Amino acid sequence: MLRSPVRKTKPTQTRVTPPAFVADCAPAANSSLQKIQELLAKINLAIKSSGNLRRDIKQDVCHCTKEIETILLSNPSMVPNTQADPAATTAAVRLAVREEMARFKPPDCDTVRQAVREELAKFKPPEPTSVRQAMREELAKFQPSAIAPKAPSSAMTRTYAESARAPPRKAPTPPRTLPSIIIKTSKEDPNQPSVLDQWKSKVSFRDTTFAPTKVKPIGKNALRVDFESPDHCAEALKRANAVPGLKAEEARKRKPLIILKGINKDTNREELLDIIAQQNAVPIEGMRLCFPLKNRNEKLYNVVLEVQPTIYKKFIESERVNIEHQRVRAAEFSRFVQCYKCLEFGHTNNKCRADYYPCSHCASTAHSFANCPNKNKSEALKCINCTRHNEKTGSNAGTKHSATNSKICPRIIHTRNILQETVDYGF
């Protein structure tokens, strides 16, 4: 048999809790009222017991005290000290604020300075490596397509936001090449001191007003010495050649290369140099067409020119070259080449004599990059050139990068820099 569950109901509260402010102010109001009533009673007693007052005055005073009592009893809010009086509350608040303000003493400058000093002493700047790491992570997250508009917008049609977003354009500064001499030994004598020692001990600049800018050992027992001007260079050449056992010559520098990207195929390649010379006001004899290169756009092509330092400077600074209806982009072209078969520098794969194809990703000589089983594993990254260099020189350069990463690989960067030093950019 089902029994209906017994409902346990909570007993309802009959006591009503008065609001907080009533509880707070009631005792004070009550005690004041009580006090007034007591005083009024005393006044009444004194008047009645006094024989000197006129009867009608006694009656008036008694009547008034009764009246006051009645009014007070019927209006408890009129009793001072109750929070029901907003004017009194406001005045009390104002008074309290004034008192607090009077008590407030502003901290003196020394205290503030001391506090700032303590805070600064506690501050630890982030480590450069952590900042670099954070920047790397931010750069890795960066997607240019998300910010940069796909279509190139000219300065005239740019919105304000686009202009504000774009970093200020800075004209590239072409490198400067100092005149230099190459010093070698004139005879192959294994017992003679090194070229550097002979140069230091036998060639003096004490009676001149200049000094070499840079002395750099190159290759086997040879030196390259840079000077500020061709005059200094000529003087040093004379002095070095006067030393028996030394042979000095002016360093032969190669002319810089420039790549022009995106020339319209309608522009005939045979006429190209004439057009560039005429349309850019540069001497035609200062340029040589080296080779054409493919452009991603089938309607366009690129060319590499060897140019005089003055022409190089002009084209690199303006970044553009006028060709027919176009303002073609110009940039430096490096002589650096890397073989994609053996991954060594200085030759291209069609001139490669190596009989192995090391992997550019993991440095294995058992497979090429095309067949690399570790292609998707970044932890397998290992540069074969940097690994070999470390083994040869006992150095400890980083090897966790692709052997073809020209932005990271220290061997590529070093080789590029060496090549750049052999280029005459003018000075």
Applying CB under 5 A, which residues contact Zn ion? 339, 341-342, 352, 354, 359, 361-362, 364, 372, 383, 385-386, 409, 411
| CB nearer to Zn ion: pick between 322 and 387 | 387
Structural contact between residues 229 and 235, judged by C-beta atoms closer than 8 angstroms: no
| CB nearer to Zn ion: pick between 177 and 399 | 399
| CB nearer to Zn ion: pick between 300 and 397 | 397
Rounded to a whole number of angstroms, the minimum distance from the CB of residue 385 to Zn ion is 5
- Among the residues of 104-255, which ranges form H helices? 109-122, 128-141, 144-147, 160-165, 195-202, 230-241
- Angle, alpha carbons 117-119-120 (nearest 5°): 65
d(CA 292, CA 304): 6
Rounded to a whole number of angstroms, the minimum distance from the CB of residue 404 to Zn ion is 9
Residue ranges with strand state E in 308-422: 320-323, 326-332
Using CA atoms, how far residue 249 sits from 80, 185, 221, 255, in Å, is 110, 11, 15, 18
Rounded to a whole number of angstroms, the minimum distance from the CB of residue 381 to Zn ion is 9
Rounded to a whole number of angstroms, the minimum distance from the CB of residue 387 to Zn ion is 8
| CB nearer to Zn ion: pick between 202 and 388 | 388
Rounded to a whole number of angstroms, the minimum distance from the CB of residue 290 to Zn ion is 21
d(CA 295, CA 340): 20
| CB nearer to Zn ion: pick between 34 and 365 | 365
| CB nearer to Zn ion: pick between 41 and 354 | 354
Rounded to a whole number of angstroms, the minimum distance from the CB of residue 418 to Zn ion is 15
Rounded to a whole number of angstroms, the minimum distance from the CB of residue 218 to Zn ion is 22
Rounded to a whole number of angstroms, the minimum distance from the CB of residue 382 to Zn ion is 8
Contacts of residue 410, defined as CB under 8 A and 6 or more positions apart, other chains included, come to 386, 397, 398
d(CA 120, CA 368): 56
The two tokens of residue 96 are 């309290």
| CB nearer to Zn ion: pick between 62 and 342 | 342
| CB nearer to Zn ion: pick between 223 and 359 | 359
| Order of all β-strands in the sheet with 246-250 | 214-218, 222-226, 180-185, 246-250
Structural contact between residues 292 and 352, judged by C-beta atoms closer than 8 angstroms: no
Structural contact between residues 360 and 402, judged by C-beta atoms closer than 8 angstroms: yes
